[in-house]
Structure 1
Amino acid sequence: AMTVFAEKYGVKYLAAVKCLHKDADALLAFYDFPAEHREHLRTSNPVGSVFATLRHRTARTKGALSQKTARLMVFTLVQAASKTWRRLQGANQL
């Protein structure tokens, strides 16, 4: 697909084609992992997921939190979020 893109758009998008060729190994490293892990690599960001919930809540409180209530809220939200986390497929291969 990268070769087809280079042939089709190489003249018009020379910088993009050069970037694709330069970073081809990094872009395709995803396929070096077992197929069972690819879904998790592609779709999950556990840190981002947790902190998205926190950002949403702290925006609602308009930052009027003490350190103690902030820690309590973070702990409670992470605990609640952990109930919906799913197990990794192929965990025995980790």
Structure 2
Amino acid sequence: MNETSNIVPLRQPDEIDDPLTNILRAGARQLLAQAVEVEVETFLATMKDLKLADGRARVVRHGYGPVRTIATGIGPVEVARAKIRDRGAAGDSERIRFGSAILPLWARRTRSLDA
């Protein structure tokens, strides 16, 4: 079969070929990742005195959640949420949970877009 096509792809409305916007979006992604990372490290530092019976840390990092897209004023920004694990909790009521003030679990849009 012939693999050539005469279909021309059209520019999508959400695609921006502006290098400045791409740089701003990449910078926003890096700053957001750094801010969340500092927030996680601060939380872990406050919990470092909690130990299990065998001496290991009770609250530890547990990787990252899936990458999600946050709609911002400069366009969509992809971020991955850091996860924290409480190894010593017997049940859900005793579990220590980390909640980011910068990147809430439910956030998909910045507040400036909703205003």
The normalised TM-score by structure 1 is: 0.32
Higher strand share: 2
Scaled by the length of structure 2, the TM-score of the pair is: 0.28
